[in-house]
Amino acid sequence: MQSLFLEIGLFFLTLAAAGLFAFLETAFTSIRPFKIHELRKAEHGRYKKFFDIWESNPQRILVTVLVVNNFFHVLCSVTITEIMQSYLGDLGLAVGVVTATIMILVFGDIVPKTLAKTDYVSVVRASLWLMHFLVVVFAPVTLMLLKFARGAFKLLGKETIWGHSDAVSEKELKYLIDYSDEQGIIDAEKGEMLQNVFGLGEIPVSNVMIPQTDMVSLDINASIEQASEVISKHHFSGIPVFEGNDDNIVGIIYHKDLFDLMSRNEQKRLKEIVRPVLFVPETKKNNQLLNEFLKKRMHMAIVVDEFGAVIGLATLEDVIEEIVGEISDEHEKVHTGITELADGGWMINASIVLDNLEELLKIEFEVEDSLTLAGFLAEKMQHLPKNGETITY
């Protein structure tokens, strides 16, 4: 009788151990690389060797857990089978196998793995000491198994095993943002801003620029006083400077430079304080422009077409507005030239960028090359529209 109690006790002990390591298997394989790095920092140098192994060879951690887990699975099965055979004879073998399978599946696999998913970071943090010990003790076994596994994978034409899923992909991040927004984990405004960050790489500069027809620029021969007056009047932080004609942009004059100059009562010509200008192609994406602005510490760029002709002005604010929404400051775009009429119609300045008009009116234009409403009308009508002429679209 005492022997029976010992065997039953051993069975439940091995079942609990199997459950524990199934628990740890899920916890350690669920954690992302950036979380591993956070845990390393939080431990302040403890378990350094373990973290080195975990970050450089995560398969070794998994194999260690699997080796220990399978050991307890086998021991658990053998124990319950022996108990059943001692009382049921030959029938006990079948009963023992079925009982062991059900018990291990439920209590040694499903339940612990489900529980581990609820707070795997806390589980990992609490069991670092145990895993560190096991990785060291079972090193000969795990390294040998990994070597055999690599050989097997090479026979199958695979270079590596259990490929690293190190970072979250852009597609996964977009999905997570959408899901978090739908579930109310983050508010709609923050969700939209995060999605807009990804959208920067899809939107060309030409979609956010101020068209050349709306640009305010200064002749390089203008006086300092004239420049200050224009900048103050329009509340700009900077204005393009041209020489000869407004297509020949030679630099940017900034309000800060003018203010510093006038506060010191220095006598200089405009060309002496003009700063270099950044030229960008109309096809450049907004994320690339943002990187260039930050790298070169600039916040204005002249947009040119494929022939090098000036077609507009893009600012750092324009790019940021694609993420956070209208800021309403630099080269104000509040005055869009759009007026809703009493009869339900609209009076629109033809220089408006089509993308802005689409967003405002919630419609979509089918165009080939046109960027503005004027270009769209000319494209559809095949001539310059005349006063009073109409088009149905």
Across the chain, mean pLDDT equals 80
pLDDT given for residue 281 in this prediction? 93
pLDDT given for residue 170 in this prediction? 65
pLDDT above 70: percentage of residues in the chain: 90
Please compute the mean of the pLDDT values over residues 252-275 and round it to a whole number: 82
Residue with tokens 């581990």: 116
Contact criterion met (CB below 8 Å) for 337 and 348? yes
138 alpha carbon, distance to own chain's centre: 39
User: pLDDT tens digits for 103-113?
Assistant: 888 988 888 88
Q: Quick one: pLDDT band at residue 172, thresholds 50, 70, 90? A: low
DSSP 189-207: HHHHHHHHHHHGGGSBGGG
> Given a cut of 60, is residue 334 above it in pLDDT?
no
* Residue/partner pairs of 168-173 with CB below 8 Å, 24 or more apart: 168/32, 170/198, 173/198
pLDDT given for residue 342 in this prediction? 76
Q: CA-based diameter of the chain, in Å?
A: 111
> Given a cut of 70, is residue 164 above it in pLDDT?
no
> Given a cut of 60, is residue 336 above it in pLDDT?
no
Q: What is the pTM of this model?
A: 0.49
pLDDT given for residue 190 in this prediction? 73
Q: Quick one: pLDDT band at residue 48, thresholds 50, 70, 90? A: confident
> Given a cut of 90, is residue 302 above it in pLDDT?
yes
Give the CATH number of domain 204-324: 3.10.580.10
User: pLDDT tens digits for 279-294?
Assistant: 999 999 988 898 898 8
Write out the two tokens for 76: 């658990």
User: pLDDT tens digits for 184-232?
Assistant: 777 777 777 777 777 777 888 988 888 888 888 999 988 888 888 888 7
* Alpha helix stretches (DSSP H) within the chain: 2-30, 33-42, 48-56, 58-88, 91-105, 111-118, 120-126, 128-137, 139-155, 170-182, 188-199, 224-234, 255-263, 270-273, 286-296, 316-324, 354-361, 373-381
pLDDT given for residue 340 in this prediction? 74
- The DSSP H or E segment spanning 310 is strand 310-315
State the Cα–Cα distance between residues 80 and 100, nearest whole angstrom: 6
DSSP tag of 356: H
pLDDT given for residue 303 in this prediction? 94
Please compute the mean of the pLDDT values over residues 351-370 and round it to a whole number: 74
> Given a cut of 80, is residue 331 above it in pLDDT?
no
Other C-beta atoms closer than 10 Å to the C-beta of 371 total 22
Write out the two tokens for 353: 């960028």
Q: Quick one: pLDDT band at residue 114, thresholds 50, 70, 90? A: confident
From-to residues of CATH 3.10.580.10 in the chain: 204-324
**More confident call, 280 vs 238:** 280
Write out the two tokens for 294: 């930050």
State the Cα–Cα distance between residues 68 and 158, nearest whole angstrom: 26
Nearest CA to 349 among 384, 332, 374? 374
Please compute the mean of the pLDDT values over residues 39-53 and round it to a whole number: 79
For the beta sheet containing 238-243, the strands, ordered from the edge strand earlier in sequence to the opposite edge, are 218-219, 238-243, 245-254
Highest averaged pLDDT of the listed ranges 41-45, 217-221, 262-266:
217-221
Pick the range with the lowest mean pLDDT from 248-252, 295-299, 356-360.
356-360
DSSP 38-81: HHHHHTTTTTHHHHHHHHH-HHHHHHHHHHHHHHHHHHHHHHHH
pLDDT given for residue 304 in this prediction? 92
Q: Quick one: pLDDT band at residue 60, thresholds 50, 70, 90? A: confident
State the Cα–Cα distance between residues 371 and 209, nearest whole angstrom: 10
Please compute the mean of the pLDDT values over residues 367-377 and round it to a whole number: 74
Nearest CA to 303 among 201, 374, 211? 211
Highest averaged pLDDT of the listed ranges 222-236, 352-366, 374-388:
222-236
